[in-house]
Amino acid sequence: MIGRTRLPLGTVYGVMLFALYLPIVILAIFSFNDDTSLSFPLDGFTLKWYGAVFGDRALLGAAQTSLIVGAVAASAATLLGFAVSLALLRFVFRGRTALVGLSAAPLIVPFVGLGIALFLLFNLLGLPRSFLTVAIGHSVVALPFAVLILVARMIGLDPAMEDAAMDLGASYPTTLRKVIVPLLGPTLIAAWLTCFLVSFDEVALANFLAGSDPTFPVFLYGQLRFGQRLPVLIAMAVILMIGSIVLTLIANRLRERNA
């Protein structure tokens, strides 16, 4: 039931939005500052920091590493999330409850503890730290998001469609490829984009698992101690933030259309 309340919910909501987005607005404003000092009033308007971004090879290299890691982690997490969702909703087996718990565990375990655990594991296995180890770690933390998105959509799929396909002679893998996957197409893309954003923004695990080629968040954190580098870093952060917002809107749009 929808009722009335005397609580100023609209005001509270407005204050929350203001507090959440004010730092982003300030960041964008300072990306146009003509001086390296981060203080008001601004010393002038300039676009030179955005131009400097594309001439900074170390910065672009870190961003490229994050893009590669994000793509690999998102692909692995989406594939695993699809398999877990299918197992939970279409099969009955011992350990089903444990699988649910394991799938959601990365949302509960602190990333610092998980990072240390994966660091020790890779050392025991003799696997050197690289973008691959970061991608493995990020696929673990992105898995719950893929499972939640895919389970929410797969619940609405009628199992009778799969039964009908198999009654007509299709094997179960063929049914998955020609019936389930096409129906889940937009949701799979939405899950992939969400996992990509989770990976791209993550810094705690990447700090433990990155090798000589750091991801962009790790590189950014390491460069913050150099004051003269701040304007270029801020400009790059604004560019990536706009990209993240666009991808988030696309993912939400796909989920709504496929709901």
Q: pLDDT-based confidence at 5, cuts 50/70/90? A: low
Distance, CA of 31 to chain centre: 24
Q: Is residue 3 part of a domain?
A: no
Residues 20 and 76 in one domain: no
Neighbours of 23 (CB within 10 A): 9
- Say what the pLDDT of residue 145 is: 92
Q: How far is residue 81's CA from residue 254's CA, in Å, rounded to a whole number?
A: 17
Residues 125 and 240 in one domain: yes
Cα Rg for the chain, rounded, in angstroms?
22
Q: pLDDT-based confidence at 110, cuts 50/70/90? A: confident
Q: How far is residue 258's CA from residue 101's CA, in Å, rounded to a whole number?
A: 26
**pLDDT > 90 fraction of the chain, expressed in percent and rounded:** 12
Q: Which two tokens stand for residue 58?
A: 């170390």
- Say what the pLDDT of residue 172 is: 76
DSSP assignment string, 220-231: HHHHTT-GGGHH
Question: What is the average pLDDT score of the chain?
Answer: 82
Which are the contacts of 47, defined by CB distance < 8 A and separation ≥ 6? 32
Task: State the average pLDDT over residues 164-190.
Answer: 81
Residues 100 and 38 in one domain: no
Q: Is residue 208 part of a domain?
A: yes
Residues 125 and 245 in one domain: yes
- Say what the pLDDT of residue 1 is: 47
Q: pLDDT-based confidence at 2, cuts 50/70/90? A: low
Residues 209 and 89 in one domain: yes
Q: How far is residue 184's CA from residue 234's CA, in Å, rounded to a whole number?
A: 38
Q: How far is residue 61's CA from residue 215's CA, in Å, rounded to a whole number?
A: 9
228-258 residue pLDDT tens: 777 888 888 888 888 878 877 887 777 676 6
Residues 19 and 135 in one domain: no
Residues 109 and 194 in one domain: yes
C-beta separation of 65 from 215 below 8 A? yes
C-beta separation of 74 from 195 below 8 A? yes
Residues 56 and 72 in one domain: yes
C-beta separation of 218 from 63 below 8 A? no
Residues 135 and 246 in one domain: yes
Instruction: Find which of 17-31, 113-127, 149-163 is predicted with most confidence, using mean pLDDT.
Output: 113-127
Task: State the average pLDDT over residues 89-109.
Answer: 83
What's the domain range around 17?
A: 9-46
Q: Count the domains in the chain.
A: 2
Q: Is residue 149 part of a domain?
A: yes
137-149 residue pLDDT tens: 999 999 999 999 8
- Say what the pLDDT of residue 73 is: 94
Residues 71 and 19 in one domain: no
Residues 71 and 113 in one domain: yes
Position 223 pLDDT exceeds 80: no
Neighbours of 210 (CB within 10 A): 23
Q: Is residue 4 part of a domain?
A: no
188-204 residue pLDDT tens: 888 998 899 889 888 88
Q: pTM for the whole thing?
A: 0.81
- Say what the pLDDT of residue 59 is: 83
Neighbours of 194 (CB within 10 A): 25
Sign of the dihedral through C-alpha 83, 89, 91, 96 = positive
- Say what the pLDDT of residue 7 is: 65
C-beta separation of 151 from 88 below 8 A? yes
User: Identity (one letter) of the amino acid at 74?
Assistant: A
Residues 31 and 114 in one domain: no
Q: pLDDT-based confidence at 78, cuts 50/70/90? A: very high
